[in-house]
Structure 1
Amino acid sequence: MTMTVERFADLAEIYGGDVARWPEAEREIARALLAAEPVRLEAVLADAARLDRLLDLAPAQSADAALLGRLIAAAPRPASAMQRWLTGAGAALGLGVAALAGVAVGVAIGQADHGRAPQGQSVIATDFTTDLSEALEEPAAL
Structure 2
Amino acid sequence: MNKSMNADRFQALIDAYGASPARWPEAERRAALDFLAGDPAAQARVDQARALDDMLDCVTAVDHLRAELDQPAFEAAINRYAAEFSLANNVVRFPSPAPSRAPRRRMPWSVVWGTGIGLAACLAGAVLGVNLSLAGLSDVRAQTVLEQVAMIDTGE
Tell me which interval the TM-score lies in, with the shorter structure as reference length.
0.3 to 0.5
Larger radius of gyration: 2
* TM-score, normalisation: structure 2: 0.40
More helix by share: 1
